[in-house]
């Protein structure tokens, strides 16, 4: 299976980063979203990020221009049908993802590989709603995509070896490293990371430390580049809560119970950087802890 044309569903933070790295690696990319404003914003972000790479001499201006020329866009999901590989990077809600795959299936080539950038939802279950569970993979990029070196490749119970190898070759061509994970809730990275973030929220909830002291403790005491609450704001508190709920529901273990304070922040719409407030308030010149 030689992959050259790749469709990306969703032009948000993850989708634009995925389109960026694929185009730089020489793939022809078609970016889809339901809103033209989202596509326009994504293309603007991709150009600005590539301009930054040129200014830092990571890529040449010619490589940037060639990559931008390989990205096209569409508001029509079914236009992605002829792609060799489709990477779904829509909202982290199973109903949304399932609807996307069900709409795509009648328009696919027999050889098209379907994949999802989900950070926690069952690949086996998503694959079962398509006509090709053997040609379905979890293709989980880390955020920010152009910077982070890891991609988790997750096999569903039916995924065949040829599909895995084809996706692994894409990761290699991107200059990234593939980590192979089995299809259990939250896979590897988030199975370890999210309970740590959730525990940091419990430490805040119980008054053991405030936002600043918790983040400082983990940055200086464990040599983490970002504190857990700062990282939660970067990821999005709604995403953190969704993954904790997947862990709690999927593994039926009380150690994965989402902290009530995390739930409260999400209920308030304080989702982190994307809403300007989370564990920090980002509306001023410097982020200010909210607790």
Q: Which residues are annotated as a binding site?
A: 10-15, 33, 92, 97, 119, 143, 274
Catalytic, 152? Answer: yes
CA nearest 153: which of 132, 170, 137, 135? Answer: 137
- Measure the CA–CA gap between 72 and 39, rounded to whole angstroms: 10
Burial 116-145 (b: 16+ CB within 10 A, else e): bbbbbbbbbebbebbebbebbbbbbbbbeb
Select which of 120, 190, 198, 230 is catalytic: 190
Tokens of 225: 């580049």
Active-site residue 119, yes or no? yes
Active site residue 49: no
Report long-range pairs for 253-256 (Cβ below 8 Å, ≥24 apart): 255/195, 256/195, 256/198
Active-site option among 32, 117, 119, 122? 119
Catalytic residue among 120, 140, 198, 230: 140
Residues tagged in the binding site annotation for NAD(+): 10-15, 33, 92, 97, 119, 143, 274
Q: Is 146 left (phi over 0), alpha (psi -120 to 50) or beta?
A: alpha
Active site residue 198: no
**Residues assigned a catalytic role:** 119, 140, 152, 190
């Amino acid at each position: 299976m030689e992959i050259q044309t790749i469709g990306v569903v969703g032009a948000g933070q993850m989708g634009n980063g995925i389109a960026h790295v694929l185009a730089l690696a020489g793939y022809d990319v078609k970016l889809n979203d339901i809103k033209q404003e989202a596509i326009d914003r994504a293309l603007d972000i991709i150009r600005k990020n590539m301009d930054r790479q040129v200014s830092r001499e990571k890529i040449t201006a010619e490589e940037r221009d060639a990559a931008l020329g390989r990205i096209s866009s569409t508001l029509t999901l079914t236009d992605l049908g002829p792609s060799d590989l489709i990477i779904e990077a829509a909202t982290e809600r199973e109903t949304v993802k399932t609807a996307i795959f069900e709409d795509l299936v009648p328009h696919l080539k027999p050889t098209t590989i379907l994949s999802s950038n989900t950070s926690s939802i069952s690949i086996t279950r998503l694959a079962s709603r398509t006509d090709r569970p053997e040609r379905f993979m979890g293709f989980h990029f880390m955020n920010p995509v152009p910077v982070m070196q890891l991609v988790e490749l997750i096999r569903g119970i039916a995924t065949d070896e040829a599909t895995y190898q084809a996706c692994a070759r894409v990761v290699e061509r991107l200059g990234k490293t593939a980590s192979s994970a089995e299809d259990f809730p939250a896979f590897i990275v988030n199975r370890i990371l999210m309970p740590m973030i959730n525990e940091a929220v419990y430490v805040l909830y119980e008054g053991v430390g405030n936002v600043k002291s918790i983040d400082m403790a983990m940055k200086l005491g464990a040599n983490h580049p970002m504190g857990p609450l700062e990282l939660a704001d970067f990821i999005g508190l709604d995403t953190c809560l969704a993954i904790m709920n997947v862990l709690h529901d999927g593994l039926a273990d009380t150690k994965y119970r989402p902290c009530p304070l995390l739930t409260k922040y999400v209920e308030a719409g304080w989702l982190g950087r994307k809403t300007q407030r989370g564990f920090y308030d980002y509306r001023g010149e410097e982020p200010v802890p909210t607790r």
